[in-house]
Amino acid sequence: MRFYLISDNSDAMNGLRLAGIEGTVARSEADLRAALADAAAQPDIGMILVTEKIADAYTALLDPVRADQSGPLLVTVPSTGGSAAGKGRITRYIREAVGIKI
């Protein structure tokens, strides 16, 4: 299983690339749609990481992806300089997806 990042800025993208996580920077809805299609086309991607700014701006587009249990798990991570609320979101999504409390 691999991770795939969809970020709103290149700093997060470059940082996670150092950890071996591939991805793309999405600056528009069209970029986001293309990135989601790219991630969905790769069967070894098990988790899509999306920065908070993108998740907040494109909730209507991401909610169906989040609800689709046949595809990769969609997780929101804090943006560069983002809030600490991202940690709670990640925990909640893992709890919902896996069914365990961490």
Q: What is the mean pLDDT of each run of 10 residues along the chain (102 residues)?
A: 93 88 94 93 93 92 87 87 63 73 58
State the pLDDT at residue 15.
Answer: 87
- The CATH H-level superfamily of 2-98 is ATPase, V1 complex, subunit F (3.40.50.10580)
CA-CA distance, 88 to 26, in Å (whole number)?
24
pTM: 0.76
State the pLDDT at residue 78.
Answer: 84
State the pLDDT at residue 27.
Answer: 93
Of 82, 70, 98, the C-alpha closest to 9 is: 82
| 3-state SS string for 11-22 | HHHHHHHHCCCE
State the pLDDT at residue 100.
Answer: 63
End-to-end CA distance of the chain: 21
State the pLDDT at residue 101.
Answer: 61
State the pLDDT at residue 29.
Answer: 95
